[in-house]
Structure 1
Amino acid sequence: MQTDKAITNHTEDKLNREMFVNALAQEILAIQNRDCTVIGLYGKWGAGKTSIIGLLEQLLHEKYYFTAYFNPWRYKSEDIILRELFMKIIEGARSDRKLESKWEKLGVLFSEYGQFISLPSANIKGIKVDFSKPLQGLVTGLGRLFKGKSTIDDKKAAINEILDQLAVPLVIFIDDVDRLDVAEIRSLFKLVKLTADFNKLIYIIAFDEDIVAKALAQNYGTGEPGDGKAFLEKIVQLPLRIPTVPNKERFTYTINLLNEWAQSQAFEFPEKYQALFVKHFKDLHDNFIKTPRDSKRLLNAVSFSYQCLRDEVNVYDIVLLETIRIFLPAVFDELLAVQSELFKLQTGENGYTINNKKSDAGVAFEKRINMYAHTLPLIADVTDYLFPFNNLFNLGFNSNRSEKIADLFAHQRVAIRRYFDRFTEFKIAGEDISDLEFKGILSRFNTLPYSELTDEIQRLCMFPKNDIYRLFHYFRSQLEETGKINVATMLCTKEHFYFDNSFESRFFRMIDLSLELLAGVGQMKRIESLRQIIFTCPSIHHSLSIIYDAQYVSDRQRDAKFHPIEALKDITKEYIFKIQRLPLADYFKNVDDEKCDILCHLIDQYGDAEKFRTELINFLDQKPENVMLFIKSMLPMSYINMSPIGQYSNRIDYDKFRTIEQYVRREVLIEKCLIVYPDAYQKIDINPDERQSMEIDHKIIIQYLLFARSEQATEMSDG
């Protein structure tokens, strides 16, 4: 945690302010006149005013100057402020041993001087406080109260006479003036100008000029800030502005803080994305991080987020998002409000959509962050870097967006939704496995035999299958040969991963990934692993799907095509022989989810096709409703409007019925269907919309009979 403590030693100066401090010290050493001198240090909050005071104090001590640090913000009222200020002056006088004989007299004079001082009543936070009574009890024990006819000027002159004998002036630093309320600011400057302007005193007052000028303008002038600044000119003899730190030095300061923090956390900033991060961070830094205090606040926020998400979110993205959150809060709030737009344009694995027209969402977003209009281009650039799929700032076809999704995933970028959610929630969600845990499991997959991975597999089955698929997909380059075999075996034989006929499952092809992994294994191990997977998978239909995909994989996945093909054919023949020894009813246990089209095709190609057709007719003869099990096992499910639940279509492709008739003759099918639905021909010509209320089996039968009638008409026409 970086504190806001000011530096006190030049070895701690990381902003190269030594020249400024040395020049100010020389200016102070050159002061020869006895009059009270007021030096103003002007700077915004966090600009380093207190640090400059600390460095200056060190130099003045080396020249035997007495210095006192006075912070009026610590005290509750003006009378206490004045009392403490007088105490600092007396303390300074006691530092000069030449005045030892005058110490008691000086204390008495301050006590007498205090009796003449009265402060006007003032409203402080709505409460009227009367300070009109003379201050009493000042510097108790330092002197007796003498009574006489002296005026306040006489007492002040007597005090000055003693202070004139100081070898060097007393330097009093007054800090945090801009933290006082309006009444306290006015009172303090009145004290410095009229009440405590003694000889041989140098006041160095540090404050934000704009804040103080605004406070003074309410009493001295028309209320405009310029009036307050004009009043300051009458009090401050040497107005100095805190040196402006160039953007490059400020940025270097912040980067050094980040590097020191990284060393304390025993990690190194990754090389991947470093150049892009530096570019975008510098753009934000130059415009919004203006002071050392800003840098420390950012580092503290980054440190906290990192402690919550260590090794779980890209550290560069954490820095950029924390910068936006702290210094562009309206932008951050809007990003949270339109999260869905940040991930909207994702397309393929190797790229994403680039539009050359700004979306309506982007136009509305810009309006809501209009207060940052002057920096909108850099906000767009940073947003585009963090969220390359965003639908807010589409920078056009000239943009170079070359990162692959796999890279974004592997490097835990917030462009991937799971990592952005982690950042915003400061946690790993209950349904999200941490990257640290996953990498540990991946390591064990690489080294242990499958039989010893029971606990790891059970743990992975606790998370959504598609999330685990993504992890293995995007971290597949880290899998060694044993790991590839183990992952392929798990994805293909554990029901949690392979059993899913939803629309979404079409985008998470466990078989494709498994075959791709096996393609990277030596030939002998590849053949044995595939055979083991096919013969141990609990689902006949899934084993057959693996065989089919391995043999007929699409061109898109040609790298995953199984070789040697002859070995695959031998495995297929052996497996078909095995399943043809099972009761045929085993094929039709779950016809809505496990289809038989691949089974029929592979039996035709590698098995006993005649035996299969004979057994199929016997199966249909056993019970009339078995015909519907067979027909539905050959029909695909439709996912209307991407519904997660499949349905049989109201407009079944006639090619599907033609395939069915390759295994059972038409007249047999019609006979069995009419047993199931005797009134089918009476309903065959009703409006298709009226079929919506029919039972599923009846709707399928009606469509089959329509197909059969159409085919018969075509055959008669051709004949």
Structure 2
Amino acid sequence: MNYILSFLRDFFAQSGESVQKEPEVQKTDSSSEGKPYNYSSDEPIELESQDRFNRWLFATRIADTIASRADKSSLVIGVYGQWGDGKTSVLKMMRGYLGRYKHVIPIQFNPWYFDSEEKLIKGFFETIAGAIGKSLPTFQQRIGKYMKKYGAILAPVAGNAATGLGESLSIVELDELRLRLEEILTEAQVRLVIMIDDIDRLDRNEIHSVLKLVRLSAGFSYTGYVLAFDDEIVSASLGEKYGAGDKEAGRNFLEKIVQVPLHLPPADDMELRQMTFEGVDAVLKATGIELSEGQPESFARHFVDGIEPRLQTPRQSKLYVNTLNFALPLLKGEVNPVDQMLVEGIRIFYPKLYRVIRDNPSYFLKYRDGMQNDPDRKRANILVDEALEGMGVIDKERVKDRFIRVLFPRFGSTSYGHDWDTRWSREKRISSEEYFKRYFVYSVPKGDVSDLAVDSFFEIVSNGANKQIDELISDFANRGAIPRFIKKLRDREASIKPSDASNLARAFARNGAAVPRERHAFIPDWTLDQAAILISNLVKLETEKKKRESLAKEIMETADPLPFAFECLRWLRKGDKTEEEDRILSQGVEDELGRILASRIKIKAKEAPLYKTYANDAPRLLWAWNKYGKKGEVSSYLETSFKNTPTDITSFLGVYVGLAWGMESGLPSRSDFERDNYEAVKGYCSPIIIYTKLKEEYGSSLENPKFYHSDEIPFDEKIAHQFAFIHLKVLSEEENRKKEEMVKHEKGEKDTS
């Protein structure tokens, strides 16, 4: 499973770059897969065998230089390097190597333990006294006494505080004590090597105190100092205190303290790459994530283009691998693993860019027609440029071309049509609106559906466990996730087995009540339509004709509620003009499905008026009943209902009135009863009967009705007036047409005579 390492060796061998062979310690058998990967603790190394960045010779050279000096004067060496570059490891290797010299006493001093300058100085000399006493027991009492006294006197002098000893007395005693200490070191024939690490991690005042301490105590003979820190940080801190207040002033001050400034050799780029890829492979193996064909190459290439230019230290490599070790298991199977690893790289190495992407998804995901003057595209580029500049990235275009646009193709100028959304969704890419948020919240957001849950759902469908299937669909509905769930099922339609397709179609037919009904201006009932389309396509997957027809009939008998059954019929039938070979079902079977639905509608109509039970869905149910039921059945049903309950007429007319959406507010309101509504009603019930009943309720006002548009009168009365207005207009048009035909007829007879 060493995906990345294998590709690394193959690819870069072709390009002529040298890549080291994978170390034996990294090789594990398949039994290690799935076992937790241990986080790197960032512990420094101590042994030559652990050194993979060739710092051993550098460390031992410093050690030899100090240990073999014939000159008794002190020496201060500075080891400079940025955070995480391995300075502590160099000191550790030095200390271990110095053990070969019997006359050298290596002393590690940690300034982090002391919270004041006075404690720092006393602690410094007590640490030295303890180390000498441990190495030279015969001198322990004498050296301890002098060191502690020297530190006690030096502390107030360094801090410029008044003491009971008096300033002049302190200085005299300091010189005397220093000479006695040097005599002991001469007599014992030893040399002290004092190593102070992480000076750059102290605050400004603490940095000043440590370097002041070194300057005041560096006069000891037979002593050497090795100070490890980031010279950029320390110089800046010193510059604020001394000289002109800038970094250069701080460097000038450092030159008075450090006699031998050395810069840590930079970590080899190829070795850093190797180290990182080893870690990535180990994490993938531990989490059980298997990269598909082409993914290792994709990650390696884009890592080199986008992340590697920012990878400078071993600590950064460990930090990145530790981050993947945390993040990958959280989204295993829910996102594209290559995209996730690259996005985590952006978070670690381009934190400002990461925030821009996270907070402005539309700039990176939105479809654009390729226009260069698109304002969103301009704004997106400005934000990205500002983020990259803020992190010191010089070649911004390279990062955008080779890294950002790889993850977000629509960030570029090339137009990617909507067909790409389906592909990106299928691949779980971050460029998909469906998956984008997951990469930042490390979970499946509310209303979304886990891909693993969908996998599990299909296993249950395969087993035919109807109760479990229904419970899962109900759970998705309770979480408001049915729209996304249906989309995910639709995305997998082509790969569903016929047996699973049948079970799934039955499941959604009987759980139609779980499908939400959206109220949108442009695409109302989108989810209901998609669910019906899904069922239609699932029926089509059944290759055996008789089974397909039987499944379709079963769906029409069980699909609930009735409006959902109607949608299923709408998508199962292909229309009268469709050729037989292009149908899912034969014309005869389609008609039979219609009759099944009509029968169910008739039964429901006897229980309660359809226009009250199903409101705006009633017109479609009446259409299906009228088309597939017995002739005149719907007219008889409506006329009887209106005769028994005349006040129901406005309720009936109201179901034909849709919603109008405000252009400014975007809010829905009841629309008007229009001419096309009138024509639809006319197909089921005589307008004369309706008009007569309305006049009985609203009186003579309907003899001269008005077409009210506003809500100045109650809705039912407004609908009655609008119907009456249209009805009288239709009658007038018919009367005028008859007169015109009569005139033409009379004129024709005259012409003939």
Shorter-chain TM band: 0.7 to 0.9
1:60-209 to 2 correspondence within 5 Å? Answer: 60-62=98-100, 66-90=105-129, 93=132, 106-107=143-144, 110=147, 117=154, 119-120=156-157, 122=159, 130=161, 132=163, 153=175, 155-164=177-186, 169-209=191-231
Counterpart residue identity of residue 58, structure 1: G
- Identity percentage of aligned residues: 21
2:363 is the alignment partner of 1:363: no
Cα offset for 1:174?
A: 0.9
Between the aligned partners of 1:60 and 1:710, the Cα distance in structure 2 is 113
Once the two structures are superposed, what CA deviation does each residue of 1:350-408 show, in whole Å capped at 9, x if it has no partner?
A: xx75543342585288369735336454675666555667xxxx4223x6689843444
2:682 is the alignment partner of 1:661: yes
| SS of the residue 2:617 aligns to | coil
| SS of the residue 2:224 aligns to | strand
Q: How many pairs were matched up?
A: 687
Partner residue in 2 for 1:285: 307
- Asked if 1 retains the 8 angstrom alpha-carbon contact of 2:76 and 2:226, the reply is yes
1:182-581 to 2 correspondence within 5 Å? Answer: 182-217=204-239, 220-245=242-267, 247-268=269-290, 277-278=299-300, 281-282=303-304, 284-286=306-308, 288-306=310-328, 309=331, 311-325=333-347, 328-335=350-357, 337-338=359-360, 344-345=366-367, 354-360=370-376, 363=379, 366=382, 370=386, 372-373=388-389, 375=393, 377=397, 394-397=411-414, 404-415=420-431, 419-422=435-438, 424-425=440-441, 431-432=447-448, 434-450=450-466, 453-464=469-480, 465-476=482-493, 479-498=496-515, 500=517, 502-503=519-520, 505-508=524-527, 509=529, 510-523=531-544, 524-552=546-574, 562-573=584-595, 575-576=597-598
2:615 is the alignment partner of 1:592: yes
- Asked if 1 retains the 8 angstrom alpha-carbon contact of 2:77 and 2:258, the reply is yes
Partner residue in 2 for 1:59: 97
| SS of the residue 2:108 aligns to | strand
**Change in 2 beyond 3 A, CA 1:527/1:639:** farther
Between the aligned partners of 1:383 and 1:83, the Cα distance in structure 2 is 54
Between the aligned partners of 2:441 and 2:582, the Cα distance in structure 1 is 38
Partner residue in 2 for 1:126: none
| SS of the residue 2:256 aligns to | helix
| SS of the residue 2:195 aligns to | strand
Counterpart residue identity of residue 99, structure 2: H
Between the aligned partners of 1:113 and 1:636, the Cα distance in structure 2 is 95
Once the two structures are superposed, what CA deviation does each residue of 1:169-206 show, in whole Å capped at 9, x if it has no partner?
A: 43321112223344443343343334243333331110
Cα offset for 1:42?
A: 0.8
Between the aligned partners of 2:50 and 2:733, the Cα distance in structure 1 is 92
- Asked if 1 retains the 8 angstrom alpha-carbon contact of 2:79 and 2:87, the reply is yes
| SS of the residue 2:221 aligns to | coil
The TM-score with structure 1 as length reference comes to: 0.79
- Asked if 2 retains the 8 angstrom alpha-carbon contact of 1:10 and 1:18, the reply is yes
**Change in 2 beyond 3 A, CA 1:542/1:89:** closer
Between the aligned partners of 2:189 and 2:282, the Cα distance in structure 1 is 45
1:703-718 to 2 correspondence within 5 Å? Answer: 704-705=726-727, 706-710=729-733, 712-714=735-737, 716-717=739-740
The TM-score with structure 2 as length reference comes to: 0.76
- Asked if 1 retains the 8 angstrom alpha-carbon contact of 2:324 and 2:341, the reply is yes
Counterpart residue identity of residue 120, structure 1: V
Counterpart residue identity of residue 457, structure 1: I
Cα offset for 1:323?
A: 4.6
| SS of the residue 2:228 aligns to | strand
Between the aligned partners of 2:176 and 2:576, the Cα distance in structure 1 is 105
The more displaced of 545-554 and 511-520 is 545-554
Cα offset for 1:69?
A: 1.6
**Change in 2 beyond 3 A, CA 1:661/1:440:** same
The more displaced of 172-181 and 330-339 is 330-339
Between the aligned partners of 2:683 and 2:419, the Cα distance in structure 1 is 49
Partner residue in 2 for 1:39: 77
Between the aligned partners of 2:253 and 2:649, the Cα distance in structure 1 is 101
- Asked if 2 retains the 8 angstrom alpha-carbon contact of 1:485 and 1:529, the reply is yes
**Change in 2 beyond 3 A, CA 1:626/1:501:** farther
Between the aligned partners of 1:403 and 1:163, the Cα distance in structure 2 is 81
| Structure 2 gaps, min length 5 | 1-38, 743-753
| SS of the residue 1:206 aligns to | strand
Cα offset for 1:526?
A: 2.3
Between the aligned partners of 1:521 and 1:267, the Cα distance in structure 2 is 34
Cα offset for 1:482?
A: 3.5
Between the aligned partners of 2:162 and 2:730, the Cα distance in structure 1 is 104
| SS of the residue 1:500 aligns to | coil
- Asked if 2 retains the 8 angstrom alpha-carbon contact of 1:171 and 1:201, the reply is yes
- Asked if 2 retains the 8 angstrom alpha-carbon contact of 1:494 and 1:537, the reply is yes
Between the aligned partners of 2:430 and 2:514, the Cα distance in structure 1 is 26
**Change in 2 beyond 3 A, CA 1:162/1:681:** same
Between the aligned partners of 1:589 and 1:183, the Cα distance in structure 2 is 81
Once the two structures are superposed, what CA deviation does each residue of 1:107-128 show, in whole Å capped at 9, x if it has no partner?
A: 5654675576464364xxxxxx
Counterpart residue identity of residue 130, structure 1: A
RMSD: 4.5
Between the aligned partners of 1:20 and 1:205, the Cα distance in structure 2 is 15
| SS of the residue 2:235 aligns to | helix
Cα offset for 1:226?
A: 1.9
Counterpart residue identity of residue 507, structure 1: W
Cα offset for 1:589?
A: 4.2
- Asked if 2 retains the 8 angstrom alpha-carbon contact of 1:330 and 1:369, the reply is no
- Asked if 2 retains the 8 angstrom alpha-carbon contact of 1:334 and 1:365, the reply is no
| Structure 1 gaps, min length 5 | 123-128, 136-146, 346-351
Between the aligned partners of 2:581 and 2:175, the Cα distance in structure 1 is 99
Between the aligned partners of 1:685 and 1:579, the Cα distance in structure 2 is 35
Partner residue in 1 for 2:59: 21
**Change in 2 beyond 3 A, CA 1:361/1:154:** same
**Change in 2 beyond 3 A, CA 1:453/1:506:** closer
**Change in 2 beyond 3 A, CA 1:484/1:193:** same
- Asked if 1 retains the 8 angstrom alpha-carbon contact of 2:118 and 2:155, the reply is no
Between the aligned partners of 2:592 and 2:456, the Cα distance in structure 1 is 37
